[in-house]
Amino acid sequence: EDKVVQSPLSLVVHEGDTVTLNCSYEVTNFRSLLWYKQEKKAPTFLFMLTSSGIEKKSGRLSSILDKKELFSILNITATQTGDSAVYLCAVEGSTGANSKLTFGKGITLSVRP
Amino acid sequence: DSGVTQTPKHLITATGQRVTLRCSPRSGDLSVYWYQQSLDQGLQFLIQYYNGEERAKGNILERFSAQQFPDLHSELNLSSLELGDSALYFCASSRILGGALHEQYFGPGTRLTVT
């Protein structure tokens, strides 16, 4: 059974701090790893990673995948209170011609002013 | 606004009852996914449809069923409801079927409360 483990479970930081969120996985026939941000509504897409070692960046957020060690990290620099959310990691595994997403339980990030 | 719509927003019903949740995907998206999110279980993939056909099944109970219609909207039917079925149910859509799953766009969710 595919498994995605995120750590830490929750994190409290102050504005301006840098945070690193971790995601490790075990999946059959890995295809991609996705990061989502969920505030008090539906998840919104952040990144999709398929290749090892290639960093994806969007403003203060960046993410990288290590397919050998089966993990990914999401970095947020110069955190702001608006970054407070649950960050979800999901891994896509293939089952024949189809694919399935398995989500981790999420990391709750609280950014204090 | 993701372009994915779900109705109703909230649903309160009693144990043993049956409900239907509805989802309309973004224009042009052929794949629809259903997820259940509860406090203790996190986000759980239930089932995926592509252009009317079931493509992948996750942790979906036998009491639950879904279908995707020719106009691509999808319905999730939950029957013999139990207290533990109370959760937020999300629908998501994407353009690509397997091969390369790109970003999924999530609807706002339906909050189901079973009393």
3-class secondary-structure state, position B84: helix
Q: Does B108 touch chain A (CB under 8 A)?
A: yes
* Per-residue model confidence as pLDDT tens digits over B63-115: 999 999 999 999 999 999 999 999 999 999 988 654 445 678 899 999 999 99
Does A44 have pLDDT greater than 70? yes
* Spatial distance between the Cα atoms of B28 and B81, rounded to a whole number of angstroms: 33
Q: State whether A42 and B44 contact (CB < 8 Å).
A: no
> How far off is chain B from A31, nearest CA to CA, in Å?
7
Residue type, A16: G
Cβ-Cβ contacts under 8 Å, B51 against chain A: none
Query: Which residues are A57's β-sheet partners?
Result: A62
> How far off is chain B from A84, nearest CA to CA, in Å?
18
pLDDT at A72: 97
Mean pLDDT along residues A77-99 = 88
* Spatial distance between the Cα atoms of B74 and B80, rounded to a whole number of angstroms: 20
Question: Which residue from B minimizes the CA distance to A9?
Answer: B42
Q: Does A44 touch chain B (CB under 8 A)?
A: yes
pLDDT at B99: 42
How far is C-alpha A39 from the geometric centre of its chain's CA atoms? 14
Three-state secondary structure string covering A40-80: CCCCEEEEEECCCCCCEEECCEEEEEECCCCEEEEEECCCC
Query: Which residues are B36's β-sheet partners?
Result: B44, B89
> Do residues A73 and A56 touch, judged by C-beta distance below 8 A?
no
